[in-house]
Structure 1
């Protein structure tokens, strides 16, 4: 049986919700500002231009993973599920984007991972937590520049 690791973190961004949406939804730019992302390709888009399916290649600690994610959207949330991927059985997650009413936004990142690679639980959780925290910091830096 596979072990699931779940992480949920939030942070405040000194940018409005539009800037945050523009940042997290700009998949082609991910390799420019997210260190682990080597390639990204939008495979399908909705009629309004938002991506429905994106293929990524990610590299870290000498390992390269390719994966395709399917995206859905609501007014305040972007979610994704794994369509296919190397070394992953499941990769579900989402961003919740909340307007704080003062020109800032709270971004919450939730991630649930099931890997096919056998690793001790503590190591898996540490990796998942690092991914979430590093991504939030990179999103904040990019959105605050916009």
Structure 2
């Protein structure tokens, strides 16, 4: 199966700590990200940040269950797929850059591989839509 990769950036009118907190608040994702149906933190680091999270997502009539493992630096959140029912890869990152003017540039990189046979154009469109919609939702939440 082919791997689809998407990278996109957005400028958010919020400081880096605010953006970081929105990105890392996984359990709230179903409240403001349409495709997320559930999110459960399975394990956390000593500092309280999530180490593993189980998600259920629904997109284009398909429901996907997956568990992601997270690692953190001061300006980056990385994840990799631990377990998934319709995907064999969901690895990515959020890179945050403080622009020095109260805004933050957020770059979302996603690599996904599906176990479900879909045409390449459809797979790529789903990945692109996921990244674009997520960035818009993060921007809206961080700016509110």
Shared fold per TM-score greater than 0.5: yes
Show the counterpart of 1:84.
Answer: 83
Map of 1:36 onto structure 2:
35
| Number of aligned residue pairs | 144
- Structure 1: state its 5+ residue gaps: none
What is the match of residue 70 of structure 2? 71
| TM-score for both structures, normalised by structure 2 | 0.98
Shift of 1:60: 2.0
Between the aligned partners of 2:21 and 2:28, the Cα distance in structure 1 is 11
Displacement of 1:118: 1.0
Secondary structure (helix, strand or coil) at the match of 2:74 reads coil
Cα offsets for 1:40-96 (capped at 9, x unmatched):
000000000000000001112221111000000111100000000111011100000
Aligned CA RMSD, in angstroms, stands at: 0.6
TM-score (normalised: structure 1) = 0.97
- Unpaired runs of 5+ in structure 2? none
Q: Which residue of 2 aligns with 1:97?
A: 96
Give the match for residue 6 of structure 2.
7
Give the drift of 1:16: 0.3
